[in-house]
Amino acid sequence: METKIEDLKEMIESCYTYGGANRDTYNFDTYIKKYELEIGKEMFEKTYTEHLSLLKDEYTIQFNVGTDSDGIIYNSLIKN
């Protein structure tokens, strides 16, 4: 189960960095919500709420930090 929780946290980070991770976003519905079935509602709510709060409080998104050979632009999370 610990691996699934870490996977959820990584997905929240990715979504937060690229378009948002709030409940009213496409990212939440498409990428984050599915973890609720894998780890259970209670653990999902706890992990989601705590990790998103941590990101909002302690990190800043740095935009356009790099571009790969296909022209895809990358963002990064920077700890405040």
Averages of pLDDT over each 10 residues, the chain, 80 residues: 94 97 97 97 98 98 96 96
The pLDDT assigned to 1 comes to: 77
The pLDDT assigned to 41 comes to: 97
- Judge whether 58 and 16 are in contact, CB under 8 Å: no
Best CA proximity match to 13, nearest among 52, 46, 49, 44? 52
pTM above threshold 0.85:
yes
- Judge whether 17 and 77 are in contact, CB under 8 Å: yes
- What is the rounded CA–CA span in Å between residue 6 and residue 21? 16
Q: C-alpha distances in angstroms, 41 versus 22, 33, 59?
A: 17, 10, 26
